[in-house]
Amino acid sequence: MFRSTLFAALGSLALIATAGSASAGEFISNGRTSEVRHGDLNLSKASDQRELRQRISRAANQVCKSTDHATKQACKTQAIAHVEAPVNAAIARAETSERYADAGAKGMQN
């Protein structure tokens, strides 16, 4: 079963502020993680892609706990951005596999 772990263990704004030379896009962990499973999803389907993104958003909510709304939102934004590349790669692999499967099935019909 495939799974992806959301390393959305992001630093809060306080951690970013104490990092000194940290750039705005730099990933800083707050030590929290949340596993996001997607083995039950068919990522070649738009509906399952949306479901994966919703799961990631919920996981980001869990790891980005803060009483300050702005801090929580900044953490969530960074958490989601941090996993965007692997999510896009997983979706691209699924879509490519689906196209190859369709092409193979069509080739067998001829």
Domain residue spans of the chain: 3-109
How confident is the model at residue 51, as a pLDDT? 96
pTM over cut 0.85: no
Cα separation, 42 vs 104, whole angstroms? 19
Q: E-strand spans in 1-110?
A: 3-6, 34-37
How confident is the model at residue 9, as a pLDDT? 35
Stretch 101-106: mean pLDDT: 57
pLDDT per position as a tens digit, 40-87: 999 999 999 999 999 999 999 988 888 999 989 998 998 899 899 999
